[in-house]
Amino acid sequence: EAQVTQNPRYLITVTGKKLTVTCSQNMNHEYMSWYRQDPGLGLRQIYYSMNVEVTDKGDVPEGYKVSRKEKRNFPLILESPSPNQTSLYFCASSLWDGTGGTYEQYFGPGTRLTVT
């Protein structure tokens, strides 16, 4: 079954304690992206990757890191989480032909993060 998986689904942590949210896709997609969803703001792009070892900032990258060492995995790292990073996070993947932008994005189930 084609899918994007994220772990953990729920996480409560304290300010400053480093954490990683994993994301994996089994569709051999080139493009992967992280979003955060906050009430009234829709989804905002944090980082995206067009292929292995190619990553770039989205609209709200501050306080986040990513890596793309393998095509299937795109972990999101919060080195020193703060309460304003409390949010619902989605990972997504898509085909990417290098010229025409993304196709349908497949989203993971979301990770609800609370930072106290």
Partner 1 sequence: AQKVTQAQTEISVVEKEDVTLDCVYETRDTTYYLFWYKQPPSGELVFLIRRNSFDEQNEISGRYSWNFQKSTSSFNFTITASQVVDSAVYFCALDNYGQNFVFGPGTRLSVLP
Residues that bind partner 1 (CB under 8 A): 31, 33, 35, 40-45, 48, 50, 56, 58-59, 90, 92, 94, 96, 99-107, 109-110
Cβ-based nearer residue to partner 1, 14 or 41? 41
Cα distance between residue 58 and residue 47, in whole Å: 5
State the nearest-atom distance from the C-beta of 17 to partner 1, in Å.
26
Cβ-based nearer residue to partner 1, 34 or 85? 34
DSSP lists the bridge partners of residue 39 as: none
State the nearest-atom distance from the C-beta of 35 to partner 1, in Å.
8
List strand residue ranges (DSSP E) for the chain, in order.
Answer: 4-7, 10-13, 19-25, 31-38, 42-51, 54-57, 65-66, 76-78, 87-94, 106-107, 111-115
Cβ-based nearer residue to partner 1, 38 or 79? 38
State the nearest-atom distance from the C-beta of 109 to partner 1, in Å.
6
Cβ-based nearer residue to partner 1, 16 or 49? 49
* Strand-strand pairing, 87-94 and 111-115: antiparallel
